[in-house]
A and B are shown apart, each in its own frame.
Chain A
Amino acid sequence: MGFRFIPTLDNRKGLRKSINVIPTDDYSFFRCNEYGVFQLNVVSGRIKDTLWDYTRDSLRLTRDIKINDPMNLYGPSGIACKESRLGLCIFWSNQDTSMAGCIMPVESSERFDETGWSMHFEHTFAPGEIKGYLDMKIIMYLKEPASVIAPGEGVLNNKPGVNLGELESYRLEVSDETIPFPFVIENADTDALWWVEFYHWDDPADDAAFGPSSFVVYLNSKVKGCPKVTDKGIQNVDMMYEITASVYAMLFKKLDSQQFTVMRTHGGKPGTISFELARMYDNCKEKFDYNDELERIHKLMQVTIKQLASNTSDMVEATNE
């Protein structure tokens, strides 16, 4: 049994470049409440509107898409048979609520003529339906299969519903859900100063939030030298840096080679383990590979964390026991 990869927009890069798509600036966002509908000012995926309250306001989005030269998509050098029909949808996902869905174009908005292929999307999220980051991807899929497959089209997908590639992606910060490093103070009857518990995750770039749902670092306040937050700052801060560096090193080593590559190249969804590791990796002056030894990564983490901490004015070292 052999494998074959069906042609998609993702693996036919030249094709993707040949079709002209309206830029992503064409997303429009509105907040809706009992007082009316108000367009939001969004800059680089951030809502610059002090009146926006995701718990009280609905979020409406609209998007117009136009593709010039859509006929390039069909036929042996395209991604769909000539007799078939492609469709577009917006796939959205929201990590903080673990919800996802598909937005279809407004019925009767689709136009396919000599000027190109266009359609209009509209969707409203209820108050509190989403929070944190809203990820949206415009996906091309096979809407209607071909009844006749022409010569040369045998390699193309003819199964409806199959994702044939991503046109673009967009990320909107709906609310600030910054997750602090998951330290927890314990008062345990053990000589261990600190330990970490890792929980199960499938994909560190997707479903593994950087926080207590994925791992927790316990600090035992009964042991001398345990980091503590006081009104003068953090006590035993060097130990805290050391612990943080150790945990980061462990997290890097938990990635398999593919996950490591994803971390280095794409980062991952905001708020995920991979995303935060990518941020840490970007801050390392010396880079490392998947195969590098734990001890080397650990040392690099110590150096990087101390450098980052020295750039942060709100971390004041009080005393070391």
Chain B
Amino acid sequence: MNKFGTLTMGEAIKIVSDYDSMSKEIFESTVVHKWENGEIDDVEKLSEYDLTFRNEIKKVFDSFFPETGGNRHRMYPLDLHIGLKVFELLYPGKDGFTISDASDDDMWRYISVKVIPDMTYLRYPPKSEKGAKNINKKRFYSETRRIWIKTLWWYVYLSWQGDAESTCDVLKSNSVDNINKLIETPGKGYRLSLYRTIMAEYATRNHKPKYFAGVTKLNNAKCKTIEPSLLIGGEKGYAAELFDEVPYMVEQEDDDDSEE
């Protein structure tokens, strides 16, 4: 059961367009200034549930964000720990929270725009060279597989190793690009135990984003004709073979489109 409110695409656009209608100078001196101080508008309209969620996420955010120095190349530890906290708070089965809820973009938009807009903004300020105005729309509300807080929940869910510590251990050496590559290629659907097995296997391998991207693409291609759980080695054997099959190229640059 979703205990948050919901926000349709149209409602989200209306709110964000008010921000975008401001000049950059006014937006930064008013809205961003408040957000940088941890203040958000209409906080009195948030429910107790919303506020509890916000406060829990804020603790983690305040703990990890300063270490990034605002440098987008140093955001992964923040993403990972926010993801683990979001998943802990919205654990499937806890307070009736379900996968259907986790698939509800209206719920995630509400969280992004109403409950934690400050953190979403600081994590993903707009890139002016991409033509964005004051708000990075994709990360706030517009693209289903790029809404920041949603992607973090799904990243942890698809990587879950049974408990937070083991999951953190498996994911700690990854990067932001792994989050995007995992979430954005569902193929016919996320095979939950397979994805978790793949993430565990990746933790034992060399970490290069293009390598991981190759593995996810090969997995989607193979799953059209093979069912990994039906192989003699099972999903574990399949995952190992998958990584062995993708050529590992030593000289690779990190893929930077993850920051869009």
Contact = CB atoms under 8 A, between A and B. Distances in A.
B203 interface: no
Pick from B98, B185, B229 the residue with the most CB of A within 10 Å: B98
Contact of A102 (B98, B185, B224, B230): B230
B187 A207 contact: yes
Contacts of B227: 89, 91, 102, 139, 141, 161, 163
B250 interface: no
A192 interface: no
Nearest to A95: B189
B189 A100 contact: yes
Given A55-B98, A186-B17, A212 B226 contact: no
A98 B195 CA distance: 13
Interface residues of B, number: 39
B6 interface: no
A4 B231 CA distance: 22
A200 B185 CA distance: 11
Contacts of B238: 161
Interface string B126-164: 000000000000000011110000000000000000000
A199 B184 CA distance: 12
Interface stretch (A64-72, A121-129, A147-155): A121-129
B258 interface: no
Interface in A168-185: 182, 184-185
Interface string A22-41: 00000000000000000000
B232 A161 contact: yes
Given A98-B103, A128-B98, A207-B187, A143 B230 contact: yes
A184 B10 contact: yes
A98 B229 CA distance: 18
Interface string A68-97: 000000000000000000010101011111
Contacts of B93: 126
